[in-house]
Amino acid sequence: TMLRNVEGSDSSVQGTNDEAQVSKLSCATLGYYKDDFIKYFVRKHTRRSPLINRGYFSRYSAISKVFREFLAAAEAAGLPAQVLCLGAGFDTRWFQMLSENGKPMYKCLEVDFIEVTQRKASIIKREPALSSLLIKSACVDGATLSTEGVPNSSSASSTYPTNVHIDPNHGEIFSPFYTLMAVDLRKADKLDAAMEKAGFDFSMPTLILSECVLIYLEASHASAVLSHLAQKFHRAAAVAIYEQVKPDDAFGRQMVLNLELRGCPLRSLSAVPTLEAHKQRLLDCGWSRSYAHDMDELYRLFVDPKEQARAERLEIFDEFEEWHLIQEHYSIALGVNDAEGILKNLGLHLRDGGGGKEERGGCDRGSSGEWIPSTGGCERAGDTAGEYFNINY
């Protein structure tokens, strides 16, 4: 029975991926941010409410800033960057950045359930806009072209380099700068095998992304993933975790209940219900410093204010009470390992004006392991906000 419950929950969690893509397409279509490729992963376009659009924009913008700062640090050190996306779903960031920059900006490994990776591999193989970028990135690596095993190989657009392999049946893509594999995060050996197949170098700067992923695992499994990665990437790495927090107030209880009723229990939320708990978990799992802020603070004091002002002009917005409630129940936690100072500037550093909250800033682990504070580092609401946290993957 327990196995069936876990499998049913896994299937429900996978379903949130489709809902997330609809919201991302809604944002991209309205101009909140640029994503030229999300349309290939959505069957039917639906315009989301301004509340949901702004929520996705705030999440995208905050993660993007961490992303940019990480890539800048790796470039400043003259080192190649790597990105591991846990539960990546139909994320398109690697393709978007390749399209905008004309070259691969980092080596990417995306992992998810096989049902998700099978669909993603199939779509990438089917859509020339996506497969052509894989070909372009592989040719940067000096590959020769081959038409072996490629349908309609008389067409130039379907000619694959010898170092690109797309296998929708197994949900796998292998190429020099982009790898997609099916991995159950509860099995560390499978994750290790995927990183090795992707050609990851554990000494190179690495960013690990987990957006509403670890929270669906049991607390022990989530901590095991974080501990394992902290041990693997001890020189220069960071893990960014976007998740729900504050399950114990009225809004939080309703949020948890809504997701449970949909078969998506937030299994590890009770173990990390606060920002402080998120910071402590990262330190306990072997990350040398940690940060955590709720999305309300990050939107006001971390996201680029010019981008924020531009986005706020896109739609009429009057749901401020709901907005602040929702934003206070989502967070980003960041753990950093930085043995040589390569990532010394990476953190969730807020602009001035973020005082007044008890839980803010970051923490370092001292030489003996102790915590050292460091700098930087509802009925009406229930209706609209319920829609938001039901689909906010």
| Binding region for S-adenosyl-L-methionine | 59, 87, 184-185, 211
- Going by the DSSP 8-state scheme, the letter that residue 25 receives in this structure is H
Q: Give the contacts of 365 (CB within 8 A, at least 6 positions apart).
A: 283, 288, 289, 371, 372
Using alpha carbons only, give the angle 77, 143, 192 rounded to the nearest 5 degrees. Answer: 60
Rounded (to 5) percent helix, strand, coil in the chain: 50, 15, 35
Burial group, residue 269, by CB count within 10 angstroms (0-12, 13-18, 19+) = buried
CA gap 238, 287 in Å, rounded: 8
The Cα 62–Cα 71 span in angstroms is: 14
From residue 104, alpha-carbon distances to 110, 133, 196 in Å are: 15, 9, 19
8 A C-beta contact, residue 335 and residue 289: yes
Q: Determine the Cα–Cα distance for residues 27 and 42; give it in Å rounded to an integer.
A: 13
Nearest 5°: the CA angle 331, 337, 339 is: 155
Q: How buried is residue 356: exposed, middle or buried, by Cβ count under 10 Å (0-12/13-18/19+)? A: exposed
> Which residues, other chains included, contact 56 with Cβ-Cβ below 8 Å and sequence gap of 6+?
23, 24, 26, 27, 32, 48, 392
- On the CB side of 333, how many CA atoms lie within 13 Å of its CA? 29
